[in-house]
Structure formats: C-alpha cells, structure tokens
Amino acid sequence: MRARVLGSLLLAVTAACVAHPLAASSWGLASCDPSGEPRWRDFENAVRMAKPGSTLYVPKPYPTTDQDVVADYLFQFTALHQKAQNPKNLPPHEDQALSAIRGGKVSYQVMRVENWTGMRCGRQHKRDFYHLVGVFEIGGGIEITRALIADSGHLVTWMNLPASAAGPVEPSARVLTAATVALEKINREFSIEGVDPEYVTTYGTIDCYFVFPCLAFHEHGLSYVVYRHELFEVSPRGPKLTGGKDVGTMAANEKLLPTLGADERLISLGGRAWTVARKVSAAQIRHGISNFR
C-alpha cells in the first residue's frame, strides 16, 4: 500500500513540478572551520549509501533538481502519516495539507535558502543551504504548507500556512516570490540597484525564521538584508562576535543587547560567527556609503 501511495504521489510531482537544476550561485560572509570536513564527508557518504529502513535514507540523497527535492519531501512527509492519527494530535491544519497532497490537488515550488544560522557548521554535518518547498492548492493557488529540506534531502521542519492561521509572520507578508523578483520590487520601491539576491535564514534580532527567510543582496560591493521592510547593512568590517561566548547565552545576551544602538541589530552569519547589522537609508545604498568605516 505504501509503495502504491508514494508511486502515485511521485507521478503527480512530475506533472506539478517541472524538474530543472537548482540555482548554484550563492554568497555569504562567514565560512566553517575546515577541520570538520572529514566528519562532513563521512556523513555525506553515509547518506548516499543508506538503504530503505535506515534513518538516513532518502530516495534522492543530496537532490540536485526541484523534482528530486519534492520526492524527498513527499517520502518523509507521507511516512510520518502512515498510521491514522487523531486530528487533535496533529499540528494545526495538518489534515487539510495531508488531504490535498494525497489527493494530488497541489503543485510545488522549490527555492534555495542560504543558511546563516548556527546550524550551518554542525558537528556531524554541514548545512550551507536549505531547500524551501511550498505546497499550493491547484486552482486557487493558495499555499497550504511550507517545508524546509536540508541539502542532504532530509526534512527539517514545516509549517501549515492557510491565510487564516496565526504565525510569526503576518499573512500579507507570507508570500515568497523568487529572490530575483523580490529584489526587483525592492529596487523599484527604494530606487536602488541591488544585485546578487538570495534568501537567508538567520538567528538574532534580525530573526529570519527557517520557513520565512529574508532577502539579502549586494550593491556597490556592500551587503544588505531586508528585515521587516527595513534595510540593514551587514559587513565583514562589523563587530566579530562568537556564538556561545559573546552572544547566544542568557548571560552574554543580557550584557550585549543594552549596548546596541537604536538602528543596530544582532545577526548570525553561520556557525559560531555573529555580527551587528546597521540600518541604512536608500540614499546610502545608492551612493555606496557604508555604516562600517
């Protein structure tokens, strides 16, 4: 029964999600300690060699196309719901999402999200980026659920998104267009000429939640993040903070947060690297004027 259900779902993916290579261009402001490379290679090899029944198994390890990402998502999401469960024990609106997926009444959208959180440089495995899978009702085009898939193909988290559901982001701000389209809108609105757009997920007081990432871009060689419709410069010349030491513990945060200015925000860059971002005006961006001298 499980094979038949998955088979029909994967056939639906072929029709609902056109397979094409995922975007390879990306950038960041921090790198992982290369001493972890042997462990990360061991994990990757284990995932690629895993057989059905293993907790590491996914049908498309380290997926390279949208269709492969969706196949991994469906394999894991449907496996979590193999046994009938009391709807009261499920996340809000889970039954709605599950019914639509099983009925083949959905289409899929896959986006790449760069990982600027502390989870990027994990001890066991490295996660430079995630795949964000949006699931939309066919016909109305309403996004009903959104899932985060690690670069290895493993399901990390998901959130159901009907417009009426409360959440960390207001319904009007939940729609994610392609990063290039999002930047075109920002460029028009602020009369700037940003380039190199990408979505990022971060920790800090610029908190770009996993399934609600923020747009990042360059202009005049400087780096910016859009957070709650405000523009912040993030610079390698900014304060160099270390997670677990300068920030990230209750004691460290209580000491650090009062020192921030009104236009300053904490932001993670990946692994243990953190810094302070500073709010900028559109005029500063247009003229390439940095807040970090």
The model's pLDDT over 215-253, given as tens digits with 9 standing for 90+, comes to: 999 999 999 999 999 999 999 999 999 999 999 999 999
Instruction: Determine the pLDDT at residue 167.
Output: 57
Cα(289)–Cα(133) distance, rounded to whole angstroms?
A: 37
CB 198 within 8 A of CB 26: yes
- 101 has a pLDDT exceeding 80: yes
Cα angle for residues 103, 139, 159 (degrees, 5° grid): 65
- 23 has a pLDDT exceeding 50: no
How large is the average pLDDT for residues 265-283?
A: 97
Cα(131)–Cα(70) distance, rounded to whole angstroms?
A: 9
- 276 has a pLDDT exceeding 90: yes
The model's pLDDT over 162-203, given as tens digits with 9 standing for 90+, comes to: 655 555 555 556 678 999 999 999 999 999 999 999 999 999
Higher pLDDT, 86 or 73: 73
User: Quick one: CA torsion of 253, 225, 174, 201, rounded to 10 degrees?
Assistant: -60
Weakest mean pLDDT among 31-40, 131-140, 272-281: 131-140
